[in-house]
Amino acid sequence: MKRVIRSMGALLLGLAMAAQAAGPAQRSTVAPRPASAAAATEQGAPSTPSADYRLGPGDQIRVQVYQNPDLSIEARVSEQGTINYPLVGSIGLGGNTIGQAENKIASALKNGNFLKQPQVNIVLLQVRGNQVAVLGQVQKPGRFPLETTNTRVSDLLAAAGGVTPMGDDTLIVTGTRSGQPFRKVIDIPGLFLNQRGQEDILVIGGDTIFVNKAPVYYIYGEAQRPGPYRIERGMTVQQAVAQGGGPTPRGSLNRLRLTRTGPDGRQVETDARLGDPVLPNDVIFVRESLF
């Protein structure tokens, strides 16, 4: 019985020693976790830009070098498109994709004989450069980052939540192209209804998209709901009165007066016919019926 116990003890001891000896070897065969995965885990996984996003002035980045924590920094891309990096000094990253910027820093470390095979990872913490401002009559005005190089006007309009009910049917894109001032007026419904691809232009960093307030007309007198209203395309006087709820029981569609401001700034008052077009700032007065 004692011999059996001693044999079992020896067997268990041998297994424990074998496991201990095998432990380091097994651990050495496990591939190291990529720096990008480590950064995502440790830093709360900042949003990952698309592969073709290009760094611009104001972008906040974190640069990490695998197994070299002293070379890990956070920096903001300057207006000149550069950052100051340890050992290397000023290095231009503006206009580079994330991958190109990683390779550029790695090459600088290698060519300077600081590291033999540097593995550089860049995390985009905050996007400031390559932004487009969407302003005016949109649901969510603000500045929006260009995460791809093929972002179009319709993409930014959708990102801003679309046009408000009082927004115009056109928008204006301003910026620079080839160093020259750029301005283009775009029909909004045409972007989506008529498939006018040539109007849905590409936007670039620094552009501004502005949606103006829609033109309005005014209705008062014997109307159900007097006040200002948005002018729809091709609107007639009859449609304008209908939008105001129509005439009251005391009012008459046959006794409408139209006040319009002429090119010289003078106001001209005329009798309005139901088929007349409505122009911006027209004032329609619904008069009482004679009977």
Least confident segment among 37-46, 58-67, 170-179, 281-290: 37-46
Q: pLDDT tens for residues 130-181?
A: 889 999 999 999 999 887 778 999 999 999 999 999 999 999 999 988 888 9
Q: Where are the domains of the chain?
A: 35-126, 131-213, 216-288
Give Cα separations from 270 to 259, 267, 273 (angstroms): 7, 10, 9
Question: CA 276 to CA 278: how far, in whole Å?
Answer: 7
CB neighbours (10 Å) of residue 187? Answer: 13
Grade residue 203 by pLDDT with cuts at 50, 70 and 90: very high
Give pLDDT, residue 38.
Answer: 35
| pLDDT > 90 in the chain, percent | 62
Is the confidence at residue 12, as pLDDT, over 90? no
What is the pTM for the complete model shown? 0.61
CATH annotation of 131-213: 3.10.560.10
Say whether 131-213 and 35-126 share the same fold: no
Structural domain 216-288, CATH architecture: Roll (3.10)
Give CA–CA dist 72/35, Å, rounded. 11
Nearest to 284 by CA among 233, 249, 247, 232: 247
As a CATH number, domain 35-126 is 3.30.1950.10
Burial 49-62 (b: 16+ CB within 10 A, else e): beeebbbbbbbbbb
Task: Using only the alpha carbons of the chain, give its radius of gyration.
Answer: 34
